[in-house]
């Protein structure tokens, strides 16, 4: 079947989608957006968290056909999404997002020692780097989408609030302490900026 929806502000379509495919599979394998991660496919780890019409969901549990006509934000679009939110209080339709061509460039890049230079990041993304909240990084995209949405709703979270909001995102490397630091840091910077 054919599926059309908006990803990171841009209309996208996919053909020959098998009816049992998840939104996660379509994003990763058909749209060149592998940032959302597949770690459990059963809604237990949060690595595939995206925003579906603004709401954080596990994209592994969304049938691709259910995304028809909906608006999806993935980690690849998070920086633009945050920028739009800061400037306009929301993401103007079609105005934000990474082009498909840009998004597919991931394959060509290797690791180098450029840290955060020249790349526009959302505050939560920068905070994760600064606080040492990234190790293997596999849980990071889902955590970023979830944490960003939590700070949008709850600008001054308590530690218990942060833990509750992120309790659907498993991390195996960090023991979560640096993730807590990162969210506290992003909240504090957000407070300073206002």
Partner 1 sequence: MPSNAPLGTPTKVTQGSPTKGGIGESTLRPDGTLKVTGEFAYSSDMWHEDMLWGQILRSTVAHAEIVSIDTVEALKTPGVYAVMTYDDLPTDVKNYGLEIRDTPVLAHGKVRHHGEPVAIVAADHPETARRAAAKIKVEYRELPVITDESSATAPDAILIHEGRDDHHIGHVPHPNIVHRQPIVRGDVASARERADFIVKGEYTFGMQDQAFLGPESGLAVPAEDGGVDLYIATQWLHSDLKQIAPVLGLPEDKVRMTLSGVGGAFGGREDLSMQIHACLLALRTGKPVKIVYNRFESFFGHVHRHPAKLYYEHGATKDGKLTHLKARIVLDGGAYASASPAVVGNASSLGAGPYVVEDVDIEAIALYTNNPPCGAMRGFGAVQACFAYEAQMDKLADEVGMDRVAFRQLNAMEQGTLMPTGQVVDSPAPVAELLRRVQAMPMPPEQQWLTAGEAADVRQLPGGLSNTTHGEGVVRGVGYAVGIKNVGFSEGFDDYSTAKVRLEVVGGEPVAVVHTAMAEVGQGGVTVHAQIARTELGVTQVTIHPADTQVGSAGSTSASRQTYVTGGAVKNSCELVREKVLELGRRKFGTYHPAWATAELLLEGGKVVTDGGEVLAHLADVLEGETVEIEAEWRHRPTEAFDLHTGQGFGHVQYTFAAHRAVVEVDTELGLVKVIELACAQDVGKALNPLSVVGQIQGGTTQGLGVAVMEEIIVDPKTAKVRNPSFTDYLIPTILDTPTIPVDVLELADDHAPYGLRGIGEAPTLSSTPAVLAAIRNATGLELNRTPVRPEHLTGT
Partner 2 sequence: MDFLRPASWEEALAAKAEHPTAVPIAGGTDVMVEINFDHRRPEYLLDLTRVADLYEWEVGEENVRLGASVPYTQIMENLRPELPGLALASHTVASPQIRNRGGVGGNLGTASPAGDAHPALLAAGAEVEAESVRGTRLIPIDAFYTGVKRNALAPDELIRAVHVKKADGPQQYSKVGTRNAMVIAVCAFGLALHPETRTVRTGIGSAAPTPVRAKTAEEFLNAALDEGGFWDNGKVITPSVAKQFADLCAAACNPIDDVRGTASYRRHAVGIMARRTLTWTWESYRGTAARSEGVA
Of 129-148, binders to partner 2 (CB under 8 A) are: 146
16 binds partner 2 (CB under 8 A): no
Q: Is 42 in the site for partner 1 (CB under 8 A)?
A: yes
Identify residues 56-115 at the interface with partner 1 (CB under 8 A): 74-76, 78-79, 105-107, 109-115
Q: Nearest approach, Cβ of 140 to partner 2 (angstroms)?
A: 16
Contact mark string toward partner 2, 86..125, x via CB under 8 A? ----------------------------------------
Q: How many CB atoms lie within 10 A of CB 62?
A: 20
Whether residue 46 contacts residue 168, with contact meaning beta carbons closer than 8 Å, is answered with yes
C-beta of 24 vs 126, nearer to partner 2: 24
**Strand ranges across the sheet with 3-7:** 10-14, 3-7, 71-73, 49-52, 55-58
Q: Tell whether the torsion through CA atoms of 135, 41, 78 and 19 is positive or negative.
A: positive
User: Could you give the string, one character per residue 147-176, with x where binding to partner 2 holds by CB under 8 A and - elsewhere?
Assistant: -----------------xx-xxx-------
168 HSE (CA, 13 A, CB side):
17
Q: At what angle do helices 140-153 and 78-88 cross, to 10 degrees?
A: 10
Residue 179 touching partner 2 (CB under 8 A): no
């Amino acid at each position: 079947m054919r599926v059309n929806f908006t990803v990171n502000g841009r209309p996208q379509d996919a053909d020959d989608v098998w009816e049992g495919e998840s939104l996660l599979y379509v994003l990763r394998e058909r749209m060149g957006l592998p940032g959302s991660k597949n770690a459990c496919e059963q809604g237990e780890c949060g690595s595939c968290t995206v925003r579906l019409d603004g709401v954080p969901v596990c994209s592994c549990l969304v049938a691709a056909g259910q995304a028809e006509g909906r608006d999806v934000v993935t980690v690849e679009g998070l920086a633009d999404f945050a920028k739009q939110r800061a400037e306009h209080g929301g993401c103007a339709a079609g105005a934000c997002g990474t082009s498909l061509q840009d998004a597919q460039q991931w394959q060509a890049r290797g690791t180098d020692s450029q840290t955060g230079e020249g790349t526009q990041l959302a505050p939560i993304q920068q905070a994760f780097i600064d606080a040492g909240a990234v190790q293997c990084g596999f849980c990071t995209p889902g955590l970023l989408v979830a944490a960003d949405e939590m700070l949008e709703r709850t600008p001054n979270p308590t530690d218990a609030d942060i833990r509750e909001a992120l309790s659907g995102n498993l991390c195996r490397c960090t023991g979560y302490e640096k993730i807590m630091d990162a969210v506290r840091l992003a909240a504090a910077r957000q407070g300073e900026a206002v």
